[in-house]
Structure 1
Amino acid sequence: MTATTVVIPSWNGADLLADCLAALWRQTLPPGEVIVIDNGSTDGTAAMLAEAFPEVRLVGLDRNRGFAAAVNAGIRASDTPLIALLNNDAVAEPGWLAALVEAADGERVGMVASKIVDAADPGRIEGIGLEVDPEGNPRQIGRGEPDGPGFVRCREVFGPIAAAALYRRQLLDEVGLFDEDFFAYLEDVDLAWRARRAGWRCLYAPGAVVAHRRGSTGRRIPRRVSYLAWRNHPWLLAKNADRRMLVRFALRQPLRDVADLARLLAARRPLDALVLVSARAAALARLPRMLRRRRNGARARRWRAA
């Protein structure tokens, strides 16, 4: 099978990496290389890896540059035709990588999505891929649903969830890497949207199972997570959505924001209301920059998973 590099971004996740890496050594298809991107950690990650996992290649960044910059650094440091991404709080079952690589063999398949289950409740789906609704709202397919017959067949999805995904280098060379302005959150939707517009496909591989401890990093910085999600969504649409979707968003979202602000203030959550306002202000400040990144005004194709 085609050689594959596994890239794992980590920020102060030494306590999580041991389980994540141990699972990679149990893969039925061993990775060609494992690269951990240390996002400016201060918890002894580098020393732990040197002692317990000397086979792992460590790329250290000077500070926390975010998920997008970290995985981009790993992609640039690798040279294999396929690159798998895996969160440090995810544990892959033995057949994970083999299932991803097998699914990538199809025509114009440039992305492969894993079956991500909740580590606290492995019988419940966290997501089998991404889709975008006609309003431009992305979501994880199957999130919160019990695992069952609906998740056992390979099928096409809009894009993979980057917490556990496979990308073809040829695709990345063609459409570009993750947008580092996003820092984290929705950068995987943006990349998938660009790839689909270029004619690449994404398959869901049901045999590529990963148990994810969702929010292991995010729960330490909940308001930062909210800020990034609120800021990045307008950028996602500015770069990728067709004009009709953009107009609907511009007309409806301000009213929704006002309603959200009223709800947050009524719940006596003024700091969260301030986060929403500051996130939308930051989004507006760079909106012209994001609009310039639209590929020569190409219309995005709205697409939903079957």
Structure 2
Amino acid sequence: MTTLIIPVFNAKNIISKKFIETINKYSSFLEQVIVIDDASEDSSASLFDGIKVNVVHNKKNVGFAKSVNIGLSMNKSKYVCILNQDCLIPLDWIKNAESFLDDNKKAAAVSGLILNKQGQVDTAGHMLWNDWVCTERFSGMSGKRIDEPEEVFGLSATATVYRYSALKEAAVANEFFDESFGTYLEDVDLNIRLRHLNWESWIIPGAPAIHQRGSTGVRHILKVRKKGASNYLKIIFKNLSDNERMSASLFCAISFFWGFLKDPLAATFNPGDNAKLNSWREIIQKRRICSEENMAKWICGFRLNPFRRKG
């Protein structure tokens, strides 16, 4: 009933033995396990040798969003789980999500509590702010539990099970995730498109996943911040109605100004393909169902700096 999609890139020193053991167990009862090797330079895909998985080798590095889209285009299941290469999920994680999706037909995406290596909350879903920045709920908190299902604005693609029909409905030009986003805010963009179509996202009880987070160099962090500035503007342009953009403009300006003060190099962003942006905006706004009033119910306040995802 579920296909597991794992995009990997230069992960030989990131993917743990326990991760491989878990995927091996999952492969025995899932419909498919698809590993997308995004042109790794360290033979990352060899870690899955001897496991019942379908490994796809990208000829060049295309980023997280396009890699996931490649996997989604191969899907034959009712549900799909997207899993980061550095996230450990319990063996009942997907089964619990399947059961919830079976019982809740309006749910498009389901996840559980995700902790970091220190046992603090990494994410428990996304929170939406006045400037249309999304942050991770309860990030950094210790001792947090999820005892009942909780509807949230959206979910991180770190470890989430999606209803495939909802992804198809939210896709634009055969792209589930906007491939121009690469590896930053692509999940937020998808969350908004799902909300536009009145699909729901939920956090459910169960054993937490552990997001180990591989080490990140300074150069990569700066690159991500610049990409984040670009993708943030794309989210605003594509997904907000004229009224929403007008009401959010002051908050966006303040947030962006503060973001540039904190991260000056982020000012050198490239807005990307304007023709694609205009085309996507037209399609997204034309098929939107969710009213501005219902979307506004998810806005929980204002915070500074659009380039940081933490709460």
- Structures share a fold, TM > 0.5? yes
**Per-residue Cα deviation, 1:260-297 (whole angstroms, up to 9, x for no partner):** 44x45xxxxxxx52x31211x43696754554343228
* C-alpha separation in 2, matches of 1:56 and 1:206: 28
- Gaps of at least 5 residues in structure 2 are 301-311
- Report SS of the residue matched to 2:37: strand
Structure 2 length-normalised TM: 0.83
Alignment of 1:264-279 (within 5 A): 264=262, 273=264, 275-279=265-269
Query: Is the deviation greater in 207-216 or in 168-177?
Result: 207-216
CA contact (8 A) 1:235 1:290 kept: no
| TM value normalised by structure 1 | 0.84
The whole-number CA distance in structure 2 between the counterparts of 1:179 and 1:156 is: 24
User: Match for residue 282 of structure 2?
Assistant: 292
Q: Does 2:6 match 1:8?
A: yes
For residues 231 and 37 of structure 1, what CA distance do their matches in structure 2 show? 25
Q: Secondary structure at the match of 2:271?
A: helix
User: Helix, strand or coil: the match of 2:45?
Assistant: helix
Letter in 1 for 2:186: E
Aligned to 2:137: 141
Q: CA 1:165–1:146 in 2, change beyond 3 Å: closer, same or farther? A: same
Give unmatched runs, 5+ long, in structure 1.
265-271
Q: Over aligned residue pairs, what C-alpha RMSD do you find?
A: 2.7
SS for the counterpart of 2:110 is strand
Aligned CA distance change for structure 1 residues 219 and 92 (closer, same or farther; 3 Å):
farther
- 2:249 is equivalent to residue 250 of structure 1: yes
Report what 1:125 is aligned to: 121
Separation in 2 of the partners of 1:284 and 1:19?
A: 41
Whether the aligned pair in 1 keeps the contact of 2:126 and 2:135 (CA below 8 Å) is yes
Instruction: Find the partner of 1:167 among 154, 162, 165.
Output: 162
Matches of residues 1-306 of structure 1 in structure 2 within 5 Å? 3-17=1-15, 18-26=17-25, 30-50=29-49, 53-105=50-102, 106-118=104-116, 120-122=117-119, 124-149=120-145, 151-176=146-171, 177-207=176-206, 209-214=208-213, 216=215, 221-261=220-260, 263-264=261-262, 273=264, 275-279=265-269, 281-282=270-271, 288=278, 291-296=281-286, 298=288, 300=292, 301-304=295-298
SS of corresponding position for 1:12: coil
Report the Cα offset of residue 254 of structure 1: 4.0
Contact kept? 2:229, 2:267, Cα under 8 Å: no
Secondary structure in 2 matching 1:146: coil
Describe the shift of the 1:79–1:220 C-alpha distance in structure 2 as closer, same or farther (beyond 3 A). Answer: farther
Q: Is the 8 A contact 1:4 1:82 kept in 2?
A: yes
- Quickly say closer, same or farther: Cα 1:254–1:198, change in 2 above 3 A: closer
The aligned residue for residue 268 of structure 1 is: none
Would you say the 8 A contact 2:97–2:111 is kept in 1? yes
Structure 2: distance between partners of 1:289 and 1:277 = 25
The answer as to whether partners of 2:129 and 2:299 remain within 8 angstroms in 1 is no
Question: What is the one-letter code of the residue matched to 1:109?
Answer: A
- Paired residue secondary structure (2:286): coil
Which deviations, in whole Å up to 9, do the C-alpha atoms of 1:22-68 show, x marking residues without a partner? 22344599422211110110101233323xx4312101111221111
Shift of 1:305: 8.6
